[in-house]
Chains A and B, each alone.
Chain A
């Protein structure tokens, strides 16, 4: 069933290759939306049937047995919420792109391929399989940015993105190989490695493995100081690409920490948890401060991603600090971190799609060019305000549930770091309020082509259908989070028990 979930988009893509490239966009985009909806149904079924402990829907086929590599898939409470979020973000992107008219065939095929590898990363239970999906996501995203980016600098931004994240991924691979060599028998199987715990004693080899894996994941997450590829990539990428990049691809980094770094390198994780916390807090504050200084809407949202991913690191780092002492705190921090991944995916996806809608109308992301949109385009203004409030962590939205748990869990472990991180919340609140007041309030202003006033319509049904479900889900998680937390908590407990060994 998991293989069907993962490879459904690729199968659809293969079927679509039969259509001529000159077909109308809808002949491609509608099957893409349907694919997403089918995947959603599969995810819903899995959500209901997931076993309370261990992995569900496991599939394992020998691939290269003599090198300890197998095709091993499975989901648990950590991965299923992220799979669900991935499918939701992709489906929203598909709906948003229904009318995409620039080379629609390659566009849809590329996104379908990206959809497969993105779901694949979260359900892979073999390090090499994980790496393959992880790397292919970089390749496909490169082509999305290079092929459908906005500006003349799209290609160079795409290349920067590719080189950074690819180098990072090779560091990751190096770490995997170190763990593989340390284990007897040699294997890349994640559950087997978690059970063997080959580097239980810590030491230099385990430290090197954690460093390599940490750098690899930090580039993808991205953490300061490995974040420099992110702003240009987001600025140049098309809206749909940005939504997927921020919503889904960044989570591959943070998910890697929870799925691989914590359970497979528990001793080193506890030893270096302090470093993780510091990196997380630096990202929180730095991301927020730089976002505050932006005039470009997309860059601003991009930097808030750095800020939000920082909270995740604060959570998992704090869980490592109190791994042996405080079961409840580590539990809260880890659950919060996973919730934050889901929440950020939904909210940032919505924000980037809204930014894309704005760009379609005004052809610029410069916040100074817009004003008084609340009067002219109330639907856009309303949704943007909701997304901004959700993003800054207002109670009632998913971000609050996530960040509250992270802070509560981390406070006992690292009071100073947590206090500093709370400043990040204040800064984000400030920057979103400034952005809202600049763009939505005041006198009506929007960029004109010289001489001819451009029509500036409100959001259309297609855009509403893409953005509203994302924000609705963020609100549902914020109001009744139990359905999500019941799934995450047992898995978070299991991870923490592995870390505390």
Chain B
């Protein structure tokens, strides 16, 4: 692999950083009613990052500054995170406009996105931990951004579990360094074979625990429902989408550097995948709050992604499956949260009659929810299909069966939300205050993009398969 120290290879990351810094500075010198320019600035940063990503993706894989890997995975995660950040900034406009901390919102989302991208590209345990912190600290602040009673509790919960996960991860990093003599992924295989396997395995599990916290996977999922339910929907969309993508890509990259013979991680990941999808689904059944329902749905979705990671080293189909699934999940999940952001209702019953009053918004929700189930032609369908195929070919047929059973089961709670949309509404809910136009546009855009991604999967999957 080519090594270099060329800062221009990091333009997407630098764009996010510059956007965040400028957002804070410009925000401080802008009157409150003109804070919209901060968002415009942030969106420009996102656009610059996207263009730079597309340009960078045409070049061969390389490692820059000896620790940061530039390959298809990094490019794909950059693109996914940037699109997700752009969508969130846009759909949250009504929710944050006029808020005393409007510019901080943009800055924190950009920094969180930067952390997620860095996690995905990290080729060194130390960089991974730094990126973990960068993806965590701004998001703790973001969780408490709205400063109402519930958000403070959510932020504290998020911070405490995050701090605990961070310490565990740092201890794991130390153990792995001690056992293998290196923090670089390139040197890991050799270090693991010659070094002490036991401590290294413990260290690996500890690092994975930190990543599981960011991904919201079992067993570090306890924060997910409370934080999702306690924060505004736009913030919840960020917390359940952007760090997840970075953490899952980082898990993938780290595990690929660990020889299966030294630490039998595929089984560990497969078990976590199985528990994540099952537990997430079972818990989602009983929910009446749509935010908690979506929160548990994200836990189960992580299970499907972990299923792909479990067979990462066993089949070449795993990489396109993983990256495609992450893209599909990001769009669909943001779309579903955007629908909640667009409408004051928070309980399933309060969505009655939405199909008649806001047909397009209801249609977007149906597309997103059926998308999360995995109905053709939405993107998650192709994602699930490639995930199933990869896991099956990777010799994990039992996991495929479990995933299929879970998919069928998940249908029931998603449909529990879809059905009221097309029932007649009780008159007392016909009040239009609290609706958000930009969130509505965001929801429809995300749903449409998820359909386009699904139909155009034939064009995109080969791009993601490149090494």
Cα distance, A329 to B411, chains bound together (Å):
42
Any A CB within 8 A of the CB of B7: no
Any A CB within 8 A of the CB of B415: yes
A64 and B376 contact, CB distance less than 8 A: no
Residue of B nearest to A188 (CB): B385
Per-residue 0/1 for A420-459: is the Cβ within 8 Å of any B Cβ (1 yes, 0 no)? 0000000000000000000000000000000000000000
Residues of B within 8 A of A69 (CB): 458
Residues of B within 8 A of A66 (CB): 317, 320, 386, 458, 461-462, 465
Q: Specify the main secondary structure of chain A where it touches its partner.
A: helix
A180 and B389 contact, CB distance less than 8 A: yes
Residues of B within 8 A of A132 (CB): 376-377
Cα distance, A11 to B419, chains bound together (Å):
31
Of A1-9, A171-179, A223-231, A337-345, which binds chain B?
A171-179
Any A CB within 8 A of the CB of B373: yes
A171 and B408 contact, CB distance less than 8 A: yes
- Assuming the contacts A135-B376, A146-B422, A155-B423, asked whether A167 and B411 have C-beta atoms less than 8 A apart, the reply is yes
In the assembled complex, the CB of B283 is this many whole angstroms from the nearest CB of chain A, namely 21
Any A CB within 8 A of the CB of B388: yes
Residues of A within 8 A of B457 (CB): 64, 67
Q: Which of B377, B388, B392, B415 has its CB near the most chain A CB atoms (within 10 A)?
A: B377
Q: Tell me which of A128, A135, A146, A181 contacts B388 (CB under 8 A).
A: A181
Any A CB within 8 A of the CB of B424: yes
Residue of B nearest to A139 (CB): B366
B376 and A131 contact, CB distance less than 8 A: yes
Any B CB within 8 A of the CB of A15: no
Cα distance, A64 to B424, chains bound together (Å):
40
Any B CB within 8 A of the CB of A65: yes
Q: Tell me which of B382, B388, B400, B422 contacts A155 (CB under 8 A).
A: B422
A170 and B411 contact, CB distance less than 8 A: yes
Residue of B nearest to A142 (CB): B422
Q: Specify the main secondary structure of chain B where it touches its partner.
A: helix
Residue of A nearest to B407 (CB): A174
In the assembled complex, the CB of A488 is this many whole angstroms from the nearest CB of chain B, namely 30
Residues of A within 8 A of B400 (CB): 181
Any A CB within 8 A of the CB of B267: no
Cα distance, A170 to B408, chains bound together (Å):
8
Residues of A within 8 A of B55 (CB): none
B408 and A67 contact, CB distance less than 8 A: no
Any B CB within 8 A of the CB of A293: no
B419 and A67 contact, CB distance less than 8 A: no
Per-residue 0/1 for B447-467: is the Cβ within 8 Å of any A Cβ (1 yes, 0 no)? 000000000011001100100
Any B CB within 8 A of the CB of A376: no
B389 and A67 contact, CB distance less than 8 A: yes
Any A CB within 8 A of the CB of B445: no
- Kindly identify, within residues 280 to 322 of chain B, every residue whose CB is under 8 Å from any CB belonging to chain A: 317, 320
Residue of A nearest to B457 (CB): A64
In the assembled complex, the CB of A417 is this many whole angstroms from the nearest CB of chain B, namely 31
Cα distance, A63 to B462, chains bound together (Å):
12
Any A CB within 8 A of the CB of B404: yes
Cα distance, A351 to B23, chains bound together (Å):
69
Q: Which 8 A-B pairs have the closest CB atoms?
A: A64-B458, A66-B461, A64-B457, A181-B392, A63-B458, A186-B389, A67-B385, A132-B376
Show the binding face of B for A, using Cβ within 8 Å: 317, 320, 373, 375-377, 382, 385-386, 388-389, 392, 400, 404, 407-408, 411, 415, 419, 422-424, 457-458, 461-462, 465
Show the binding face of A for B, using Cβ within 8 Å: 62-67, 69, 128, 131-132, 135, 146, 155-156, 158-159, 163, 166-167, 170-171, 173-174, 177-178, 180-181, 186
23 chain-A/chain-B pairs, Cβ below 8 angstroms: A63-B458, A64-B461, A66-B386, A66-B458, A66-B465, A67-B457, A67-B458, A131-B376, A135-B375, A135-B376, A155-B422, A167-B411, A170-B411, A173-B375, A173-B376, A174-B404, A174-B408, A177-B388, A177-B404, A178-B404, A180-B385, A181-B392, A186-B389
